[in-house]
Structure 1
Amino acid sequence: MSQESLKFKSLLYSSHDSKDCTNVLKVHNYTPNVSADSSIVLRTLAFPINPSDLNQLEGVYPSKPEKVLDYSTEEPSAIAGNEGLFEVVSVPSGVKTLKPGDRVIPLQANFGTWSTYRTCDKESDLIKIEGVDIFTAATIAVNGCTAYQMVNDYIDWDPNGNDWLIQNAGTSSVSKIVTQIAKAKNIKTLSVIRDRENFEEVAESLENKYGATKVISESENGGKEFGKEVIPKVLGPNAQVKLALNSVGGISCANIARKLSYNGLMLTYGGMSKQPLTFPTGLFIFKALRSHGFWVTQNSKDDPENKIKTVNEVVKLYRDGKIISPKEDARTLEWDVKNASDEQVLQLISEGIKTKGGKNIVVLKW
C-alpha cells in the first residue's frame, strides 16, 4: 500500500463531556505520519460500542489513551474505541507471523478502533483470529475474555460435583457467555434478572438457548422465604455455590452474596445500579466471604500471555459450538466507507451511542 493511498477517517476527541459524550466526537480525515514500509497497515472490519468507550469519552474511565498530535489536528486528540476487528492490508519486511488478509484484534485496550484504517508498529501487539464470524471476533477481547477469565481463573471447580455460580444481570452479553462456558465445564448457573412482564419468556431463552441452569427474578433473589424454601431445592444435595459474579451492585449484590457457600468468592466487574456494594457482616465472619474486583483491561496489562491464551480458548469454544455467536443479539450499524459522508458517519455512531438495550456493533462496508 503506497503512502499516497493512506487516507484515514477516524472518530477523534480532544475533550470530554460527562452529560453527552457525542458532543466531543468529530470525524477527521488525514494522512498518517507513518510509512507503510515501516508499519503494519490494518483496515477496520467491525467494532462494538462498549460502555467503557463511552466512559472514556465522558472522561470518567480509569484507562484512557494519550491525546497526541499524530493525526494532523490542531490540538492533542485520541481515536475513540478500545475493541475491534481488523484485516491486515500490508506488512513491512521482517514481520513473520502476519500476512495481508489475516484478521487480527488488538492485544491491549486504547488502540483506537473507531477508524477506517489503523497502523501498528509491532506484530506482538496484535492477536490473530481465525474461524469465527466478525461479530464474535470484534467482541471477544472484552466480553468473551471477561466471561472466560472469571469462570476459569479463580475457582477450583469439581467437574463431578454439584458446583454452582450465581450472577446478576443475567441478560447481559457477558452473563450469556458465562452460562455457556459454565455449561461446557459442567458448572451449574443461577442467573438473576430484573422483574419484567415477559419474565417467563426471557428466563426460558436464557435457560434453553444460553445454558443457564435456573433463572430467578430480583424479587425472588431478595425474598427470605424463597431463599430458605426454594433455593435449596433448586441447588440440590451437596451443592457448592463457589462463585458470585456481580455487575449491578447495591442490594442485588448483597442478595447473591448471601447464596454463596462457605469461603465463596464474589467478583465485581461492573456497577450498573451505581449503588455501593453492601455485604452483611455475618458473611465475612461466619461464611468467610471473599470479595475481589475484576477488570479485564488490567489483567491484560499484567499478563499479556494469558490474554492471548484466553482469546484462543474462547475462539475454540465458539468454533466448537459451545458459545453462540453474538450476531443474533447485535444491532448492526453499517458504515458505508466509500459513500457515507462525514456527517452520516457521525450520525451513525451517535445513534449507536444513544440507542440502549443490546449490543451495537458497527460493521464497515468496503
Structure 2
Amino acid sequence: MQRFSSVSRRFMSSKVSSFKSLVYSSHDAQDCTKVLTLHTYKAKGESEKSILLRTLAFPINPSDINQLEGVYPSKPEKVMDYGTEKPSAIAGNEGVFEVVDVPDSVDGLQKGDMVIPLQANFGTWTNYRTCEDPSQLVKVQGIDLITAATIAVNGCTAYQLVNNYVDWDQNGNDWLIQNAGTSSVSKIVTQVAKARGIKTLSVIRDRENFDEVASQLENELGATKVISESNNNDKLFAKEVLPKILGPDARVKLALNSVGGKSSASIARKLSPDATMLTYGGMSKMPVTLPTSLLIFKNLKCLGFWITQNSVRDPASKRKTIEEVSKLYAEGKIVSPANDVRILEWDTNKASDDEVLSLIKEGITHKGKKNVVVLKW
C-alpha cells in the first residue's frame, strides 16, 4: 500500500520548517488554473520514518491538467494534511527529486540520490515532499535532469508499447506503424524500436516543412520511413508505394494509435494478419472506428494502453521499465528530451508566491513544447 507523508514531520539536519505546494480542493473543466493555489504549511513534529525530498524538476503533463479539470480517471485523494480549509491534493504526477534526508532504517537510498516516484498521484508540484515508503521511490542515475523528470510517463509508455505486446523476430522484416510521429512518445518509440532492430513507419500530419521534419525523424532519431497523413489515407499509396517501402516478407505487427478517427483506421489497414493495435491517446477527439473486415479476416487485436493502470497492476514491471529506459538513455540510444521542452524556472529563494503561481498557470496554458518546471535552489 502506498504511504505518502504530505508534510515533513521532522526538522533534522536540513532545517526545513515549511513547504510550498500547488494544491487544489475542487475542479474546473473550463479553466483549471482557477482551482490552484500556492499553499505554505509548516513542518510538524518529528518522524523517524519519513524520507525528505527536495524537488528538482517536474513537467506539466496533459494528465495533470485533466486531473485539475476533473476529467481524468485517476485522481489523488484529497486530505486535510496541509492545513487547508478544505480537503486538498498536491498537483502533479511526475517529477524528479533529490534525497535530502533519509532514516537510518532505510536501505538503498542516501543523501544526494536522484529519485522519481514509482506511481502517479504522488504530488510533485511542490518544493519539498516526504515519503514514508521507500518502495515507492526509484533511484535514477546516469541521465540528465529533464530526462529524469519525464521518464516515468513518456519514456515508460514508449518502452512498454514496443516491448510488452508483440513477439518480434530480430532476424525478420518486422515493422511497427504509428501516427502522431512527432509526439514525445512517438519519438521515443522510434528510438526504442531502432535499438531492438524493429523498423518504424511513422505518420505525421501534412505541413509546409514536411521534408525537413521527416528528415529529422529519419536521420536523427532513426525512423525507417516517415509518411504524411495524406499518404496514410490514400488507398493507391497503400497498394502501389507502401509495398516498396516495406520490402519483401514484411510483417507489420504493431500499430500505435494516439490520434483516433480516420488516422487510426488507416494505420490499422496496414497491419499484417494477427497483428495488434494499441490505442494510448486520442488527439483528434474522434472515436476509433475500424472496418469489420480487419477484425474478421485479419484477426486483428485492438487493445487500450494506460501506463498509470499498468503501474498499479504490476509495480515491479514499472520499476524494471524505468531501469531499462534509463539504461538506454545512459547508453545514448535515446536522446535527451531537453531540446524538445520549454523550461520554466522556479527560483525557490527569490520568487514570490504570486510569481510561482503565475509561472505554473503559464505552463498550463502555453501551447507548443512540453513545459518543464525546474527549481533553482
Please classify the TM superposition score into its range, dividing by the shorter chain length: over 0.9
Match of 2:287, SS state, is: strand
Letter in 1 for 2:274: N
Structure 1 stretch 355-364 or stretch 169-178: which is displaced more?
355-364
Equivalent position to 1:113, from 116, 119, 124: 124
Equivalent position to 2:369, from 329, 353, 358: 358
Whether 1:101 aligns to 2:80 is no
Q: Deviations over 1:41-65 (max 9, x none)?
A: 0000000110100000000000000
Structure 2 gap segments, 5+ residues each: 1-9
Equivalent position to 1:189, from 200, 212, 224: 200
Letter in 2 for 1:70: D
Quote how far apart the aligned CAs of 1:357 are: 1.5
Aligned residue pairs, count: 366
Match of 1:182, SS state, is: helix
C-alpha separation in 1, matches of 2:117 and 2:344:
21
What is the TM-score normalised by the length of structure 1? 0.98
Is the CA contact 2:57–2:96 (under 8 Å) kept in the aligned structure 1? yes
Whether 1:295 aligns to 2:303 is no
Tell me the equivalent position of 1:267: 278
Whether 1:2 aligns to 2:11 is yes
C-alpha separation in 2, matches of 1:5 and 1:120:
15
- Seen in structure 2, the aligned counterparts of structure 1 residues 55 and 33 have a Cα distance that, compared at 3 Å, is farther
- Seen in structure 2, the aligned counterparts of structure 1 residues 33 and 290 have a Cα distance that, compared at 3 Å, is farther
Is the CA contact 1:249–1:271 (under 8 Å) kept in the aligned structure 2? yes
C-alpha separation in 1, matches of 2:99 and 2:162:
32
Is the CA contact 1:244–1:256 (under 8 Å) kept in the aligned structure 2? yes
C-alpha separation in 1, matches of 2:93 and 2:354:
22
Letter in 1 for 2:337: P
Quote how far apart the aligned CAs of 1:342 are: 0.7
Is the CA contact 1:36–1:92 (under 8 Å) kept in the aligned structure 2? no
Whether 1:180 aligns to 2:199 is no
Equivalent position to 1:321, from 329, 332, 338: 332
Q: Deviations over 1:300-333 (max 9, x none)?
A: 1111111111000000000111000000111111
Quote how far apart the aligned CAs of 1:365 are: 0.2
Match of 1:42, SS state, is: strand
Tell me the equivalent position of 1:130: 141
What is the TM-score normalised by the length of structure 2? 0.96
Quote how far apart the aligned CAs of 1:5 are: 2.6
RMSD: 1.0
Quote how far apart the aligned CAs of 1:143 are: 0.3
Quote how far apart the aligned CAs of 1:149 are: 0.4
Tell me the equivalent position of 1:156: 167
Alignment of 1:6-17 (within 5 A): 6-17=17-28
Is the CA contact 2:16–2:43 (under 8 Å) kept in the aligned structure 1? no
Is the CA contact 2:11–2:43 (under 8 Å) kept in the aligned structure 1? no
Equivalent position to 2:360, from 344, 349, 357: 349
Letter in 2 for 1:20: D
Match of 2:218, SS state, is: helix
Tell me the equivalent position of 1:68: 79
Structure 1 gap segments, 5+ residues each: none
C-alpha separation in 2, matches of 1:169 and 1:33:
48
Tell me the equivalent position of 2:227: 216
Is the CA contact 1:47–1:362 (under 8 Å) kept in the aligned structure 2? yes
Quote how far apart the aligned CAs of 1:35 are: 3.0
C-alpha separation in 1, matches of 2:222 and 2:369:
19
Tell me the equivalent position of 1:91: 102
Match of 2:375, SS state, is: strand
Structure 1 stretch 105-114 or stretch 2-11: which is displaced more?
2-11
Tell me the equivalent position of 1:281: 292
Q: Deviations over 1:169-222 (max 9, x none)?
A: 100000000000000111000001111111111111111111111111111100
Quote how far apart the aligned CAs of 1:6 are: 2.7
Q: Deviations over 1:250-272 (max 9, x none)?
A: 11000000000001100000111
Letter in 2 for 1:227: A
Quote how far apart the aligned CAs of 1:36 are: 4.9
Structure 1: 4+ residue segments shifted above 2 A: 3-6, 32-38
Letter in 2 for 1:349: I
C-alpha separation in 2, matches of 1:357 and 1:209:
21
C-alpha separation in 1, matches of 2:352 and 2:134:
32
